[in-house]
């Protein structure tokens, strides 16, 4: 297991290198610069700023300098926020995004697994059709549509929650439901398919023939195998929750890393954009590794693959 993890981490190094390289050059080739939109900046001041940050050097030299700093763990200074480094901004804002992703994942798992299990117990029934229909609606409804709809109903019409903010637990409800509801639909479909496959196996019929209760059959015998597709999907799900938080944080004005990323993209804050993309890429690689280890734990046959 340790050898498998080390090999996977070593394989991630060229992936992260490619991500950093492509992001860096794509930003540099885009029109404009971090100081071109400043209204009160004279050409002389702009030249001094570019010289201070090394933006007047040849492009390849800038790339080598930035890559050397990244290898040392330094993501560089932010052009938008003076006297602040990208490392400091990520350290300050990512815990908020991580908390939003955590609550959204709980919503997605709770709604998705519950709906999928209920649908699998009575296939081709009204309950199954209702659960599958709601899941299909959730899949077809994008986050940037679902979020404003929930704000319109629960915040502006019913006044149950606030429109924006991140002060207490009430402010977590709509963002978590917006972000987690979309992925709950996928998890419901995967849970239903996995449970139907397991419930048709011989060992389930044997357990029922021995007098096992329906809840024991579901919780002890079926759920572990039926959730394998869901666990396999958790890697892309967590990645989607993290990147989808960019939209949700903008809609609900949440002070997370997504807002910094969007602001940096509009202001050509090169180091902030590349640093955020590289940070999320490394995080997704690590999360995918954890998912693979969990799959091996749930399905011992994978150890001999």
Q: What's the burial of 141, exposed, middle or buried (CB within 10 Å: 0-12/13-18/19+)?
A: middle
The reply to whether 181 falls in a domain is yes
Instruction: Please check the confidence at residue 32 and state whether its pLDDT lies above 80.
Output: no
Query: pLDDT value at position 148?
Result: 87
Interaxial angle between packed helices 228-251 and 257-266, expressed in degrees from 0 to 180 and rounded to the nearest 10: 60
Instruction: Please check the confidence at residue 40 and state whether its pLDDT lies above 70.
Output: no
In this predicted model, which residue has the larger pLDDT, 301 or 292? 292
Instruction: Please check the confidence at residue 166 and state whether its pLDDT lies above 60.
Output: yes
| pLDDT tens column, 211-266 | 777 777 777 778 777 788 888 788 778 777 877 777 888 888 888 888 888 888 88
The reply to whether 241 falls in a domain is yes
Instruction: Please check the confidence at residue 191 and state whether its pLDDT lies above 80.
Output: yes
The reply to whether 19 falls in a domain is no
Query: pLDDT value at position 41?
Result: 64
Instruction: Please check the confidence at residue 303 and state whether its pLDDT lies above 70.
Output: no
The reply to whether 233 falls in a domain is yes
Closest CA to 223 of 187, 190, 195, 189: 195
The reply to whether 4 falls in a domain is no
Percent of the chain with pLDDT over 90: 3
The reply to whether 170 falls in a domain is yes
Instruction: Please check the confidence at residue 302 and state whether its pLDDT lies above 70.
Output: no
Domain that holds residue 232: 94-264+286-304
In this predicted model, which residue has the larger pLDDT, 9 or 44? 9
| pLDDT tens column, 103-144 | 999 998 998 888 888 888 888 888 888 887 888 887 788 888
Q: Tell me the CATH number at 186.
A: 1.10.3720.10
Instruction: Please check the confidence at residue 301 and state whether its pLDDT lies above 70.
Output: no
First CA to last CA across the chain, in angstroms?
Answer: 13
| Ramachandran region, residue 123 (left: φ > 0; alpha: ψ -120 to 50; beta: rest) | beta
Average model confidence (pLDDT) across the chain: 82
Q: Report the alpha-carbon distance of residue 168 to residue 36 in Å, rounded.
A: 39
Number of domains in the chain: 1
Task: Quickly tell me which residue has 């979309």 as its tokens.
Answer: 182
The reply to whether 14 falls in a domain is no
In this predicted model, which residue has the larger pLDDT, 266 or 153? 153
β-bridge mates for residue 77, sequence order: 85
| pLDDT tens column, 44-96 | 777 777 777 777 888 888 889 888 988 888 888 888 887 888 999 999 888 98
The reply to whether 274 falls in a domain is no
Instruction: Please check the confidence at residue 300 and state whether its pLDDT lies above 80.
Output: no
CB 175 within 8 A of CB 256: no
Query: pLDDT value at position 304?
Result: 45
């Amino acid at each position: 297991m340790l050898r498998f993890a080390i090999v996977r981490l070593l394989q991630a190094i060229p992936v992260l290198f490619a991500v950093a390289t492509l992001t860096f050059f794509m930003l540099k080739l885009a029109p404009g610069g971090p100081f071109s939109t400043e209204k009160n900046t004279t050409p002389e001041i702009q030249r001094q700023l570019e010289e201070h940050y090394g933006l007047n050097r040849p492009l390849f030299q800038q790339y080598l300098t930035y890559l050397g700093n990244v290898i040392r763990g330094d993501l560089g200074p932010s052009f938008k926020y003076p006297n602040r480094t990208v490392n400091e901004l990520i350290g300050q804002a990512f815990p908020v995004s991580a908390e939003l992703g955590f609550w959204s994942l709980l919503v997605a798992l709770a709604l998705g697994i519950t709906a999928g299990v209920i649908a699998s117990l009575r296939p081709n029934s009204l309950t199954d059709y209702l659960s599958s229909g709601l899941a299909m609606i959730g899949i077809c409804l994008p986050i940037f549509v679902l979020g404003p709809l929930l704000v319109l109903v629960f915040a502006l019409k019913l006044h149950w929650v606030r429109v924006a903010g991140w002060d207490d637990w009430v402010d977590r409800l709509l963002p978590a439901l917006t972000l987690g509801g979309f992925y709950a639909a996928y998890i419901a479909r995967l849970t239903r398919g996995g449970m139907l496959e397991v419930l048709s196996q011989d060992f389930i019929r044997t357990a029922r023939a021995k007098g096992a209760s329906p809840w024991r059959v579901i919780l002890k015998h079926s759920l572990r195998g039926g959730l394998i597709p869901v666990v396999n999907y958790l890697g892309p799900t967590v990645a989607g929750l993290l990147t989808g938080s960019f939209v949700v944080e903008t809609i609900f004005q949440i002070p997370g890393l997504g807002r910094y990323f969007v602001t940096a993209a509009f202001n050509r804050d090169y180091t902030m954009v590349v640093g955020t993309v590289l940070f999320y890429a490394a995080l997704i690689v690590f999360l995918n590794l954890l998912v693979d280890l969990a799959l091996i734990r749930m399905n011992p046959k994978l150890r001999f693959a």
